Structure 1
Amino acid sequence: MFVALGLALVAAGFLWRGRVLRPLSAKRAQAAVIRDRSRNLLRSADMAIAEARRRAARGEPAIVTVEDVTTVACRHYGHVVVEREEAAAALRQRYEAANCRVDCMTDAFN
């Protein structure tokens, strides 16, 4: 009987392994969603800048638009709706961080 009880506990532990013991609070879940969205938009801006640099001919400036960031966010991260202001803010931040003033142009500052 003890062996059967032990096997049942081991089986239950095996099935429940990795699950959260307490549910996430709504506030923490929302904060995680906001963090992930912000991080995904920054990555989308990086990818759009890299793609624009690859497309640019030698000696020409790379042209990165807010629409490029929106397209990458929709295509790679599945964001259905990306506000222009959010995408522009992410592009401005990554534009400054990547020192793009030397070889890029953007409409994010309009």
Structure 2
Amino acid sequence: MLHDLGGLLFIALGLVLVAAGFVWQGGALRPLSTKRAQAAAMRDRSRNLLRSADMAIAEARRRAARDEPAIVTVEDVTRVACRHYGHLFVEREEAAAALRQRYEAADCRVDCMTDAFN
């Protein structure tokens, strides 16, 4: 009889938790503010553009012949951002800034050329 009571109590507790879950329906405790959402979107976009610049530099280095410099353009960065990250529109200045930053960080002055500084 003691085992039956424990099992019944366990099932009742489970039903109470399931009922509470249906009532609460997984609602957020604190809704996401517009300001934080916009800041997160800006960080993601910036990070994606930097990654796009890295990918464009790597692709240009693979395409370059053995003794020729790799040519990386702002359009390459824009194309990679559209293709890999789904950005519908990337401003030239934004892509050029990302390319300049990654160009200097990757020490590309030795073996690359770019139009990002124009």
Question: What corresponds to 1:94 in structure 2?
Answer: 102
**What SS class does the counterpart of residue 67 from structure 1 fall into?**
helix
Question: What corresponds to 1:36 in structure 2?
Answer: 44
- TM-superposed CA distance for 1:21, in Å, is 2.4
- TM-superposed CA distance for 1:9, in Å, is 1.9
Residue 82 in structure 1 maps to residue 90 in structure 2: yes
CA displacement 1:25-51 (0-9 Å, x = unmatched):
100000000000000000000000000
Q: 2:55 aligns with which of 32, 43, 47?
A: 47
Separation of aligned partners in 2, 1:74 and 1:83: 12
Separation of aligned partners in 2, 1:63 and 1:8: 65
Q: Show structure 2 runs of 5+ residues with no match.
A: 1-7
Provide the aligned C-alpha RMSD in A. 2.1
Separation of aligned partners in 2, 1:8 and 1:49: 58
- TM-superposed CA distance for 1:20, in Å, is 3.9
**What SS class does the counterpart of residue 63 from structure 1 fall into?**
strand
- TM-superposed CA distance for 1:22, in Å, is 1.5
Question: What corresponds to 1:70 in structure 2?
Answer: 78
Question: What corresponds to 1:60 in structure 2?
Answer: 68
Percent of aligned pairs with the same amino acid: 83
Separation of aligned partners in 1, 2:79 and 2:16: 51
Larger Rg: 2
Separation of aligned partners in 2, 1:5 and 1:51: 59
CA displacement 1:70-91 (0-9 Å, x = unmatched):
0000000000000000000000
Q: Show structure 1 runs of 5+ residues with no match.
A: none
**Which residue identity lines up with residue 90 of structure 1 in the other structure?**
A
Question: What corresponds to 1:109 in structure 2?
Answer: 117
